[in-house]
């Protein structure tokens, strides 16, 4: 949900011709500071009271929203939803991950689960206190682990090697690492000679990240050049890429 909201905010600024004022991490921190989160959604105080009331009177709403996973972005959202509810080990996640690959977009490069986890999530290595998210899950689901301090050996043993969603206030370095990898791949696309061939896959998130950076730097020609290398159908069916491209063409025309 936070990624969707951030994308909508970015789209607003781009269409207005303004630079995007904050990063994804800053936006996420702002959401948690100004609004109340329930089931992956954000509410004002009076709205959340109404939501809680309706949830109780209806006997509880479904906590897990079924997601259609088709590319890297939706897979990350799926993993975020999965791990926020239940921090898990790689061995636990992998079979579920494999089941989600059936609807993968044919133009989108597939990724190793380990790579996606390393770039977007954190794994508790058993050193230091157990992270709050893992502690809350374990203490709620295992009676013998309740009321234990976060450095208790039994709790640490149960928590070790579990992947979890990073705290928005501590996710900056992780986001920078991911962006660096995306931009490195985008630079390869930028330097590539010729278009992508039919059936050839590429990393859409890398192109989105590169377009965003080029827009911030007012490098509209790079957006146009790379857009011309990917299939027209892919460009036309991706609202984000099409937005960057259309705005870049408009700016080049104005200049």
Quickly count: other Cβ atoms within 10 Å of residue 4's Cβ.
Answer: 10
pLDDT of the residue at 65: 47
pLDDT of the residue at 58: 65
Q: Is-contact 145 139, C-beta < 8 A?
A: yes
What element of type H or E holds 122? Answer: strand 122-123
Q: What is the pLDDT of residues 181-210, one digit of tens each?
A: 899 999 999 999 889 887 888 888 899 999
**% pLDDT > 70, the chain:** 90
**Side-chain-side CA neighbours of residue 165 (13 Å):** 18
pLDDT of the residue at 44: 81
Instruction: Please state the three-class secondary structure of 5-69 as a single string.
Output: HHHHHHHHHHHHCCCCCCCHHHHHHHHHHHCEEECCEEECHHHHHHHHHHHHHCCCCCCCCCCCC
Judged against a pLDDT cut of 70, whether residue 61 lies above it is answered with: no
- Per the listing, tokens 């799926």 go with 78
Q: What is the pLDDT of residues 202-255, one digit of tens each?
A: 888 899 999 989 988 999 999 999 999 998 888 888 888 888 899 899 888 766
Q: Is-contact 4 40, C-beta < 8 A?
A: no
Of residues 12 and 189, the one with the higher pLDDT is: 189
pLDDT of the residue at 113: 93
* pTM exceeds cut of 0.75: no
Judged against a pLDDT cut of 80, whether residue 15 lies above it is answered with: no
* E strands, 163-236, in order: 163-164
Q: Is-contact 183 213, C-beta < 8 A?
A: yes
Q: What is the gyration radius of the CA atoms in the chain, in angstroms?
A: 21
pLDDT of the residue at 63: 47
Q: What is the pLDDT of residues 22-47, one digit of tens each?
A: 777 777 777 777 888 776 677 887 78
The pairing of strands 122-123 and 163-164 is: antiparallel
């Amino acid at each position: 949900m936070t990624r969707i909201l951030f994308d909508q905010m970015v789209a607003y600024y781009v269409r207005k011709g303004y630079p995007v004022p904050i990063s994804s991490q800053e936006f996420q921190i702002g959401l948690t500071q100004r609004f109340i989160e329930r089931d992956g959604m954000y509410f004002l105080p009076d709205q959340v009271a109404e939501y809680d009331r309706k949830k109780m009177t209806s006997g509880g709403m479904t906590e897990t929203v079924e997601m259609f996973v088709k590319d890297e972005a939706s897979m990350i959202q799926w993993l975020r939803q999965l791990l926020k509810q239940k921090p898990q080990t790689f061995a636990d996640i992998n079979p579920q991950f494999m089941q989600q690959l059936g609807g993968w977009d044919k133009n989108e490069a597939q990724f190793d689960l380990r790579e996606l986890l390393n770039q977007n999530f954190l794994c508790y290595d058993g050193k230091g206190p157990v992270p709050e998210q893992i502690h809350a899950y374990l203490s709620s689901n295992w009676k013998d682990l309740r009321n234990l301090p976060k450095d208790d050996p039994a709790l640490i043993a149960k928590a070790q090697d579990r992947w979890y969603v990073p705290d928005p206030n501590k996710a900056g370095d992780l986001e920078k690492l991911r962006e660096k990898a995306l931009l490195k791949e985008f630079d390869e696309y930028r330097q590539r000679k010729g278009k992508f061939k039919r059936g050839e896959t590429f990393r859409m998130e890398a192109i989105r990240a590169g377009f965003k950076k080029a827009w911030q730097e007012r490098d509209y020609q790079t957006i146009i050049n790379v857009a011309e290398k990917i299939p027209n159908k892919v460009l036309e069916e991706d609202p984000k890429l099409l937005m960057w491209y259309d705005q870049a063409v408009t700016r080049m025309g104005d200049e």
